[in-house]
Amino acid sequence: MKLIKFWNKAIEHYCTNNRKDTDEIFETVFIAISEESLEKIKIKYIQFGKLKPLEIELSEKNIESSGGTIDSYYSAIKEVHNDLNRPEQYSFLRFSILVVGAFKQDDSPLRNFWKDFDPFILNKGISTINNRTEYLNRLILNLSKWCFIEHKKTFFQLNVFGENSTIVNVGRIKAHSVFQGRTLRNIKKSIYSLGYTDTHSIDDLSFDDVETIIKNSGETRILNLFNRDYDAQEIVYVCLKIWLEKWTPSQEEKVQLLKGKVSLEKASLTIKRIWTINRENNQIIEIKFGFIYRTELGEEGLYYLNKDENVYIDTSWGIRLTDNRILYVIENYSSGINLNHNELDLKFKNKQIDLSEEVYALEKIPNRNYFIEHQDKRVKIIDNPILLASKNEIINENADYFSEFKIQDQNNLKYKLYRIIGSSKYNFLSFIKTNSLNIFPIGISDGSSLTKSYLSSFPIKINYNNITKGEIHVLKNDDIIEEIDLNENSDKLGSEVSIGCLPEGTYKIKYFDNNEYLNFKNGHDFILFTIVDAGNKDRRVDLKSEIVNSFNYNEFRWFKPFESPEDSYVIYQNNEEDLCFKDKHTDFYFSKSNRGDWILRPNKDISYLQRILFNPSENQLKYSTWEIEMTYLSTQFIQYHYKIKFCERPNSLRLPFDINDFYQKNDSNRITNDYINADCYYYKLVQMDVQLMEKYPNVAIGDEIYVFSNKRENQQPENLLKLVNQEFFPFKK
């Protein structure tokens, strides 16, 4: 195998495959490669098992003969640089040398990248890149396409500097060199120990927060980079957020990373200014203050932040921004009031209430007249419309004048509002329009998974995020049935358009701009959706008839009569050498698939769990490498500790199934199978404390148990064990 081919493939494998050493799935491809990591990259690729023994032997020989791992890498680079006209070939390898160079220059400003890079490769006898912009653009375009088509991932292209910036290309390279897996582990540890995971979503970490986190992590390389200049700081800030985007903090990871040390540290919440702008409100802007929290602060109710000054939040008015960002408005806020002794035990960073700046960047909250003020100087326009509030008039082709508003209670203070429609700079603010095209339908889904399929009885809306030009076409059988001209979008602040009820059929959404249909994020130039018949049943019942029982938690009692399947979930402890699932509160949920056959669906709520001691399957058992600490609280309220391993994925078993043995909720069931597939999860005891050994002398380390359930927990099989653990010690015999 040729060296260039070997190294290109090895780097591709290293950067795109899911890492076994972390449990994250990165959807963004970073080519984070330094000279030191080359050895690891080589070994990982060889161990991957895709190469034939002969190819491995040949590659090893080639590497050896060119002077070892590092030298062989540079000689591969030398070879690809002999032809700089074809960046589409060996793109991973080509891009990697740029990043290796970037790792070597942590101490110099971004603008000096080429000044340092060229001597570095010349020194290795590698030719320099002359037409850099074109070379890089083609290289990155090819990587983006390949990563999407081959790996369904996005190649990371930093967008903070905007298309026209002189350092945009350097930024794109440098961003890849900021983090590596092990650096990230220390950063996460620091985030846990500072208490950010309880209060902040990653999106809401400010520059100050990120600085505190990096300082506390002891990662001096990152800290130096962060403190060097504004450009580098921003790259670190943006990259960190992207690396952590898909990360869900968990108690287990916290315990593991902090080695059991409990951190009582609380992170301060940043108070944000919220502009409420409503045209119907006599051109007056009301200023409110609030903060964004990671989770819901309980159910509806008032919580005082300062009782004496009547400063409070009303949680029934929380505004959900995304899954883990909820905005709470503080009533009667004033910067002079101390909020740090409050009922919720939250810490706040105070905010000056006066409007002192000439301009402010404001991001709209969907469906609301609320605009959150941006803290950063660089503002990315992603999903929501961005407004610029300015004391003075602005003439800029990318700023559409909107209206002039007075600030409430400050009558001499007026701001002109502009909708920002493209990348531009004004005063100290710069706006960067991102170019990902995201348009999607909104409707009431018919319940079939994996496809976008909606009811014909409910009107369809189309969300077009921040797109302000071009046309949206809705097509049925390739005929355009609806054209929405976004240039004519009169109120300029919406991001949704209603297209009413559609008859049954298959539809496409396309986006038309500059005389062509553009590609969406998914790589296609259309978004497919179907509309299904709504049906004309009458689901009404006579008044005062029995109300559907709600889901109640009940402990399993052996002779409880069978009443209603959703009444309870059952944990059945089975010590027999036989599976027991007929008439024992088992509940299978079937529904019709798109093809019209009946299939078993995962249950959202658990109906039953059966723990058994024998292995019902002949398949080989495969455990995940993770070990989890568990605590069992006995009925005498004594805590016992033990550790388990859990299955990588459940074994699937075919169980005999006779429909007549089961109570049916839906008379139209037409299941013809005489079997059902059931998932069997398994767990192994790997450690237990002395008290537990004394309490259960016949349980030993290495014992395995099996759990049947109709609840699907493929991602986190440990969740099922936790349920059992609430009831009894799972390994009990």
Partner 1 sequence: MQEKITKKQINLLIDVLVTSGGGKSQYGKLNEIIKTYTTENRLIRNTLLIWLDSMGIMDVDYQNHNNYYLNKPLWLKSSIKNHYILYGAITNDEIKELEINSEVKKYDRNKISYNNFEIELPDTYYTTNPGLINELDYEVIENPIFSAIDNMEGLSLIENKLHQGILQEIKISNDKQSNDVDGYRIILNQEQTPLNIFPQYDIKQFNWRTRNYIKCDIVKELSIEEEEEGLKLIKVIIPQDSSGNHKMYYTFLLEKSANEEWKFTYFDPTIVDERWARYLFIDKLEFYDIEKDFRGRDDMSKLLVFQNAKSAFNNKSVLIEQNPESSNFMKIPNVIRKQLVQYDSRQGLIAFPVSMPLPKEIMRYLFSCSGSVPQVFKNKFTINPDYNIKKLFSGILSPEGTNVPFANQKYFMEEDFYLFSHVPTQLAEKIFEKLNLDMTEDVYKRTFLQKI
Q: Which stretch binds partner 1 (CB under 8 A): 61-69, 424-432, 433-441, 450-458?
A: 450-458
Where is 278: in which H helix or E strand?
none
What is the distance between the alpha carbons of residues 609 and 592, in angstroms, rounded to a whole number?
24
Site track 249-288 with partner 1 (rule: CB under 8 A), x = hit:
-----------------------------x-x--------
What is the distance between the alpha carbons of residues 98 and 177, in angstroms, rounded to a whole number?
9
| Residue 369 found at the interface with partner 1 (CB under 8 A) | yes
Q: Choose between 115 and 722: whose C-beta lies nearer to partner 1.
A: 722
Sequence-distant (6+) residues with CB within 8 A of 450 are none
| Residue 564 found at the interface with partner 1 (CB under 8 A) | no
Minimum Å gap between C-beta 639 and partner 1 is 6
Minimum Å gap between C-beta 496 and partner 1 is 10
Residue 102 φ/ψ, nearest 5 degrees: -65, -40
Q: Are 113 and 102 in contact (CB under 8 A)?
A: yes
Minimum Å gap between C-beta 290 and partner 1 is 14
Sequence-distant (6+) residues with CB within 8 A of 420 are 361, 379, 381, 386, 387, 388, 398, 399, 431, 433
Among 317, 562, 614, 663, binds partner 1 (CB under 8 A): 317
Q: Quote the strand ranges of 77-135, DSSP E.
A: none
At 630, list the tokens: 């568990």
Pairing of strands 516-517, 505-513: antiparallel
| Residue 549 found at the interface with partner 1 (CB under 8 A) | yes
Q: Choose between 517 and 556: whose C-beta lies nearer to partner 1.
A: 556
| Residue 310 found at the interface with partner 1 (CB under 8 A) | yes
As a dihedral over the C-alpha atoms of residue 231, residue 232, residue 237, residue 242, rounded to 10 degrees, the angle is 100
What is the distance between the alpha carbons of residues 650 and 132, in angstroms, rounded to a whole number?
51
Q: Choose between 335 and 639: whose C-beta lies nearer to partner 1.
A: 639
- DSSP calls for 473-527: EEEETTEEEEEEEGGG-TTS---EEEEE---SEEEEEEEEETTEEPP-TTSSS-E
Q: Choose between 108 and 498: whose C-beta lies nearer to partner 1.
A: 498
Among 43, 541, 580, 700, binds partner 1 (CB under 8 A): 541
Q: How many C-beta neighbours within 10 Å does residue 105 have?
A: 17
- DSSP calls for 222-238: HHHHHHH-HHHHHHHHH
Q: Choose between 82 and 545: whose C-beta lies nearer to partner 1.
A: 545
CA torsion sign for 503, 508, 511, 515 is: negative
| Residue 131 found at the interface with partner 1 (CB under 8 A) | no
Q: Choose between 435 and 549: whose C-beta lies nearer to partner 1.
A: 549
| Residue 404 found at the interface with partner 1 (CB under 8 A) | no
| Residue 543 found at the interface with partner 1 (CB under 8 A) | yes
What is the distance between the alpha carbons of residues 419 and 277, in angstroms, rounded to a whole number?
13
What is the distance between the alpha carbons of residues 620 and 525, in angstroms, rounded to a whole number?
44
Sequence-distant (6+) residues with CB within 8 A of 173 are 95, 98, 99, 101, 102, 113, 136
Among 444, 518, 580, 700, binds partner 1 (CB under 8 A): 444
| Residue 595 found at the interface with partner 1 (CB under 8 A) | no
Minimum Å gap between C-beta 315 and partner 1 is 8
Minimum Å gap between C-beta 195 and partner 1 is 15
Computed over its alpha carbons, how large is the radius of gyration of the chain?
30
| Residue 458 found at the interface with partner 1 (CB under 8 A) | yes
| Residue 593 found at the interface with partner 1 (CB under 8 A) | no
Length of the chain measured in residues: 733
Total residues contacting partner 1 by CB under 8 A comes to 67
Site track 699-728 with partner 1 (rule: CB under 8 A), x = hit:
-----------------x--x---------
| Residue 686 found at the interface with partner 1 (CB under 8 A) | no
Query: Which one-letter amino acid corresponds to residue 497?
Result: V
Q: What is the DSSP letter of 353?
A: -
| Residue 351 found at the interface with partner 1 (CB under 8 A) | no
Q: Which stretch binds partner 1 (CB under 8 A): 312-320, 421-429, 431-439, 669-677?
A: 312-320
Where is 417: in which H helix or E strand?
strand 410-420
| Residue 580 found at the interface with partner 1 (CB under 8 A) | no
Minimum Å gap between C-beta 505 and partner 1 is 17
| Residue 300 found at the interface with partner 1 (CB under 8 A) | yes
| Residue 540 found at the interface with partner 1 (CB under 8 A) | yes
| Residue 553 found at the interface with partner 1 (CB under 8 A) | yes
| Residue 535 found at the interface with partner 1 (CB under 8 A) | yes
What is the distance between the alpha carbons of residues 524 and 513, in angstroms, rounded to a whole number?
15
Minimum Å gap between C-beta 334 and partner 1 is 18
Minimum Å gap between C-beta 335 and partner 1 is 23
| Residue 542 found at the interface with partner 1 (CB under 8 A) | yes
| Residue 605 found at the interface with partner 1 (CB under 8 A) | yes
Query: Which one-letter amino acid corresponds to residue 122?
Result: L
Among 195, 366, 422, 494, binds partner 1 (CB under 8 A): 366
| Residue 455 found at the interface with partner 1 (CB under 8 A) | yes
Minimum Å gap between C-beta 638 and partner 1 is 8
What is the distance between the alpha carbons of residues 558 and 16, in angstroms, rounded to a whole number?
51
- Which residues lie near partner 1 (CB under 8 A)? 278, 280, 295-296, 298-303, 310, 316-320, 326, 343-344, 365-369, 442, 444-448, 455, 457-459, 461, 534-543, 545, 547-555, 557, 591-592, 605, 633, 637-639, 665-666, 716, 719
